[in-house]
Chain A
Amino acid sequence: MILIEKGHIIDPSQGIDGIGDVLIENGKIKEVNIQSKGQRAKSKEQGAESKSTPIHPYPSRGEGKGGGESLFPEPRVINAEGMFVIPGLIDMHVHLREPGFEYKETIKTGTAAAIRGGFTTVCCMPNTYPINDNASVTEFIIRKALEGLCTVLPIGAITKGQKGKELVEMGTMKDEGCIAFSDDGLPVMNSLIMRRALEYSKAFGLPIISHCEDLTLSEDGVMSEGLLSMTLGLRGIPAEAEQIMVFRDILLAELTRGKLHIAHVSTEGSVKLIRNAKKRGVNVTAETCPHYFSLTEDAVKNYDTNAKVNPPLRTKRDIEAIKEGLKDGTIDVIATDHAPHHRDEKLKEFDLAPPGISGLETALGLSMKLVDEGVLTISQLIEKMSLNPARILGLLTPHLSSLITGPKGTLAKGADADVTIIDTKKEVTVESSKFVSKGKNTPFDGWVLKGVPFMTISKARIYEWR
């Protein structure tokens, strides 16, 4: 029994935006009660002056059983005054590295980092070792996920071994728990295979998440192609490497009527293509990551491998286009593409260091800047980080799976009690050495961020930080 009171509740799924209380019982949202802005919920005795019914821990209103206090167990009351209370954040793009790369991260440490970042659900990409391209590996992940601090939903590979040649057994893997398919880390270069994937996945209603990169154009590239890459003597990846595949996948989605989701959008051109496709009515959704609206390629000027990421950091223009895309709904989701690496791996020649940013613990803070800048309202931000991922992955309606028993991405009655409470006033300086994740690889070290999770409630546990 948890009562979160006096918080500023924002639930875009129900159009809720106001001060109120949230009551959680048995791991589910029991009730959300909004007072008019500024008025406290009145106690039972004082009764009828407030506009809506106040929340009581027990449904014994007005029956004279006492001031609404339970006999046992003692309900936990959380004072969320001055803070935002939102449906738990959902990150639909993380690399948890287990099985196979536990030295970089494990499901346990990765989910702990997720919780620290305010995420109550994460979807893990299949480029593990072995690759999650069959039900056994999915089953392993699901089993390991039980130890995870937050909900872990596996994304299966599109093709066996991520080789881009043969489709995986999508139905069997869905039954085992996969909620989407992606060859992330790699594109599906063969257009016929991508077509088949989009067609076949329709039978199971699951989205195909595409890592858009034309490998023949990006060949050996390690940063964005342009004046800076030439100056630094590093091979560049032209923006077109992403755009060509975005375009191709959109056309294939149009052809097949399959469900396409474009991962980590990083360029202006891609945003334009997606906007256009949506206008035409193509079933495509898209995500971007905080680094693509926070940093330009200048971050690699000193050969800092912590800023090496794929797709690479781009230009100011691309940042503006992505912000515009978030604003007008072209980009539906902000995901982290959390990619932890071992310190030794990043302490290498720039060409050889693996790309990736450990992003779970900085995502919310970086994304809150968009609210500060007026690019998004806080409600819109929550859509990008909770409601829309839930919608795309079909998590708004309860699944029959061992992991998902109630809706996520919403504070509607009966939804899973995944709640994040955000302290927007507290300022935190990013210290990668103190990251909960094993991966300390971030270019944001030293950044001052506002809007950090005060408390994350997930899987019937409360996690809080002073």
Chain B
Amino acid sequence: MLNKDLLGIKELSVEDINLILDTAAGFKDVLGRDIKKVPALRGKTAVNLFFEPSTRTRTSFELAAKRLSTDVINFSVPTSSVVKGESLIDTALTVQALGADFIIIRHSSAGVPHLLAKKLRASVINAGDGTNEHPTQALLDAFTIREKKGRIEGLDIALVGDIIHSRVAKSNIYGLTKLGANVRLIGPPTLIPREMEDFGVKVLHSMEEGLKNVDVVMMLRIQMERQGKGFFPSTEEYSKNWGLTQERLLLAKDDVIVMHPGPMNRGIEISSEIADGPRSVILEQVTNGLAVRMAVMYLLAGVKR
């Protein structure tokens, strides 16, 4: 890993990605033991700087840091001075002055992690910036697929839903195409940007067509706010046309796995039976997320400034 920061999958090479996944495998072992902690990053400090609400990602990073024996501080707006009008840069410099070695940032504006990475000595980890990327999610998704299927290259993988607004989708598209998968995007035209075709992915608007023989189905959360802005007329209509039902899942391969970054809208983009069913790996994604985040922090800590 050459860089002190993890800003996106775009910036990672295939070797980098594989190194992270291999290291994550080692950490997953640790998570299976009685003592789930290693002293590897003892004495380091990680700060969760979350400008957008998030419980799952934040706690995942927090736990990952603690498992590495790192101290953790949580800095969530609006409990911080950012509400008092402090600028982003000032907040970040203050956090660095507290001795942060890692700054894990989630923000609604794309490019914020890149700005911080330039200005700070600490390692900046992008936990989601606007509609740009969410690299650790894509890495844990890739880890999960690799673990279940033994490889990623050559697999047919379908991403379904609100692609245009989903940083999870974008990071996954960059990652899975780099690793040689055949990626399909399924959803209404208003939610899939035309430009996506330039990424070497197939764009389909029908579930029946898109799910044929896929190895992996990744469902994305439909955000209710999009309804008001003309992206689709109603959630009922969306669910009817692009929701994942048992029937539709039968079109996929017999050993298909179903993924979802969470949180799920049960009954809208995914049926409860599938979410709780044998093909779902959704909870494993959470466990793997922990291992992957530990791997990321471990590897970044070793990069010379």
Contact = CB atoms under 8 A, between A and B. Distances in A.
**Is A in direct contact with B (CB under 8 Å) within the complex?**
yes
Range of interface residues on chain A?
Answer: 10 to 19
Interface in B98-125: 107-112, 114-115
A349 B10 contact: no
Nearest to B167: A233
A373 interface: no
A142 B265 CA distance: 62
B133 A233 contact: yes
B196 A349 contact: no
A57 B102 CA distance: 73
Contacts of B133: 233
Contact of B110 (A227, A344, A347, A350): A350
Interface string A216-230: 000000000011001
Contacts of A226: 195
Nearest to A229: B195
Given A233-B170, A303-B115, A351-B130, A344 B109 contact: no
B250 interface: no
A331 B64 CA distance: 59
Nearest to B132: A233
A112 to B, nearest CB: 29
Interface string A225-256: 01100111110000000000000000000000
Contacts of A347: 87, 89, 115
A264 to B, nearest CB: 24
A303 B88 CA distance: 15
Interface in A41-62: none
Given A232-B132, A233-B131, A233-B133, A351 B195 contact: no
Range of interface residues on chain B?
Answer: 20 to 34
Interface centre among A231, A344, A352 (most CB of B within 10 A): A231
Contact of B195 (A227, A302, A348, A352): A227
A350 B115 CA distance: 9
B198 interface: yes
Interface in B3-34: 10
Contact of A232 (B87, B107, B110): B110
A348 B115 CA distance: 8
Contacts of A350: 109-112, 115
A234 B10 CA distance: 15
B231 to A, nearest CB: 14
A352 B110 CA distance: 11
Contacts of A344: 87
A230 B195 contact: yes
Contact of A230 (B87, B114, B193): B193
B196 A234 contact: no
Contacts of B132: 232-234
B195 A349 contact: no
B129 interface: yes
Contacts of B170: 231, 233
Q: For chain B, what secondary structure do more than half of its interface residues adopt (helix, strand, loop), or is it mixed? A: mixed
Interface in B121-148: 129-133
A348 B167 contact: no
B87 A348 contact: yes
Interface string A336-377: 000000001001111110000000000000000000000000
Contact of A349 (B115, B131, B164, B198): B115
B49 to A, nearest CB: 13
Interface in B162-203: 164, 167, 170, 193, 195-196, 198
Nearest to A344: B87
A385 to B, nearest CB: 35
Nearest to B113: A303
B46 to A, nearest CB: 22
A348 B110 CA distance: 11
A233 B195 contact: no
Contacts of A232: 110-111, 132
A227 B198 contact: yes
A347 B87 CA distance: 9
B109 A302 contact: no
A303 B89 CA distance: 15
Nearest to A347: B89
A226 to B, nearest CB: 7
A303 B193 contact: no
A348 B109 CA distance: 10
Contacts of B129: 233
A233 B109 CA distance: 9
Given A303-B110, A350-B110, A351-B130, A231 B10 contact: yes
A352 B109 CA distance: 8
A349 B112 contact: yes
5 contacts: A226-B195, A231-B195, A347-B87, A347-B115, A351-B130
Those 8 A-B pairs whose CB atoms lie nearest each other, nearest first = A233-B132, A303-B111, A233-B110, A349-B109, A227-B195, A351-B109, A233-B131, A350-B111
Given A234-B132, A352-B109, 19 more contacts: A230-B164, A230-B193, A230-B195, A233-B131, A233-B133, A233-B170, A303-B110, A303-B111, A303-B114, A303-B115, A347-B89, A348-B89, A349-B88, A349-B109, A349-B112, A350-B109, A350-B111, A350-B112, A351-B108
